Structure 1
C-alpha cells in the first residue's frame, strides 16, 4: 500500500536554472459526493466523478533559481492581472507540499492562471486550479529527476493536488475517477485519485454534462467550511455509510449500463449533499428558486419522454444536466426551450467527459 512517505524524494539527479511549463486541468463532477474530511485533506467517504473536458483551468508556470532560499517566492496572476486574494491559498498549499517537493524555496515562481468558466460559482474551480498547478510543479520535479516513471508522475500529481483542494485529485487523469478507500475498488486510496478500474458500459462513454449557470456569483459558503460542518453532524456517520453503498451500486451500474439506476443514485447523491448542508449548524440553503424549477422541469421532461436525462449539483446553485451522447439533440433542444430562462443571463456551458490534465 502506498503511503505519503513514498512521495518524499531522496535526491535529484539533475539541476535546472529556469524555464516554464503549461498545463490545463479540467473540473470534475462528482456522482457520489465527498462531503466531510479529516486532517490533511483525507476524505471522510469515498467519491467517484466524471472528468470534464471544456471547464478547465490553464496554468503557466515560469521558474528561476534564486539566491535567497529562505522563503517561498511567487507572483500570482489571474487572467493576466495580479490576484492578491488568491495568494494565501497558494502559500498554504506550498507549505503543505514542501516536504514532498523540497526544491520549492530554491525558485521564484510566476503562476499565470485562467479559467474557461466562472470562478467560485459552483463549478469546481479550486479542483481544476490546484490540479493544473500540481501538474506544473511535477513537471519541474521530473526535470530534476528524469528517471521518474509516468505512473509515479501522475500518482504524485494527484496526491499533491489533493493537498490544495480535495477534489482536485480527481482532475489529474482518467474519465471516471475514484478517490477514497473502497473495499471493492482495486487500488483505491485516500491519498490520491485513481482511474475507475472496472468495466464501463458503452452507455457511459462520451457522457454529456450541460451546466446551467443559475447563479454566477461567489458561493455563499466555501467548500472548506461546508466540509467542516460534517464534524459532529447528526447524520454524518450514516451519510458516510451511504456513500460506500452507492459507490458499490455504481460498480454494477457502470458494468450493466442501467441508466435508470444510474439516475436514481446520482440525483439522490445531489440532494443528499444539500440535505447535509440544510441540517448542519449553522445551516445553509445553496439552491436558488430557479435551481428547483430546473429540477422539476427535468423530472417532468424525463417522465413524459422517457429520455434518460438527470441532474446533479455541487455545493452551489448551478445544475449539471447529465445525459448520454445519443440523446444530445433532444436534451439540448429541451434546455433551449424550457431551461435557459432559469439561467442567469441565459448562460449555460456544454461539456462532456474528458481525459484529464493536458500538457500544453
Structure 2
C-alpha cells in the first residue's frame, strides 16, 4: 500500500484562512505606509492633472499595466479624461495617440522597465509632463519624471517575495486616491457620473425622466366627468394600464379610477355597476407626478403609497401622461 504523507498545516481549513489573513494584514500595512507618504508630490501630481488640456495617458508593463488600465478607467469615469496605452505597442506606433497636451502617468515598481524607459526621450521631446509611480525613488523612471509618487511597500504578501501583491494593491490605491482627489477638486457630481455611465443602474436612476417612460397622447386612458362606469371599463380595457384618468372639458384632472377601485366597487352591495357614474366611485385626489421628474421618483411614490400606477400632470393640472409599474420595470428603474 502506498505511503501517504501527512498534509502540511497550510492545507487545512485553519491554515488556509490564516494564510489569507496574513496577506490582508501585509497589504494593510503596505497601504498605511503609502498613506503616510501622500504629501506635496501627490498634490503636485493632482495639480498637473487638473491643469492638463488633454488627457492622462496611463501606461505600465505586466501587473503594473493591469493596474494602469484600471486607473485610467477610474479617472475617465470620474471626470478626468484618461486612457491606457501599452508601452510595448507605444514603441510601434501607438505613441501617435499621445498629443503634446497630454500628461503621462507611468507605473513600474522597479522604475526600470525597458519598455517605459524607451519612451522617456520621445515624451520629453514632445513636451509631455511625466508622473511616475514606482517603489524606488532613485530609479531611472522616478528621476526622469516631473513628479514621483512613492508606492514602495515593506514587503510583498507573496512568501517568495516574487509575485507583485502588496505593491500592486498600493499602486491601485494610489490611483484611486488621485481619482477621488481630482473628482472632489472638480466638483464632480452624481449627475456627472451618471452621464458617463448611461447604461448602468445609476445612470438610469439619475438620467431617466418620467417623460422618457410615460404613455402620452392617445395612449393615455381618459374619460370625461359624465362617463358611466361601463364607459370607464371599456377605456381601461382598451388602454391596458390598469387605470383611467377622469378629466374635465379642458383636460384637467378631476379623479382617477383603477383596477383596485373596480374590485372595491364590485364588492360594494350598495353600488349598481350598470347605472353608476364615474364621479360617484372615482378617487378624487390621486397621487400625481410631473413629466420632468426622475423616473426613480415615480418608483418611490408607488412604493410609499402602495400603488401601481401614476398620472402625469402639467403645472395647470392637465393630464399629459400615464405610467405603471410595468413601465418602470421595462426601463429597469426598479
Q: Same fold (TM over 0.5)?
A: no
TM-score of the aligned structures, taking structure 1 as reference length: 0.22
- Structure with more of its chain in helix, by fraction: 2
| Higher relative contact order structure (alpha carbons within 8 Å, sequence separation ≥ 6) | 1
TM-score of the aligned structures, taking structure 2 as reference length: 0.24
Larger Rg: 2
- Structure with more of its chain in strand, by fraction: 1
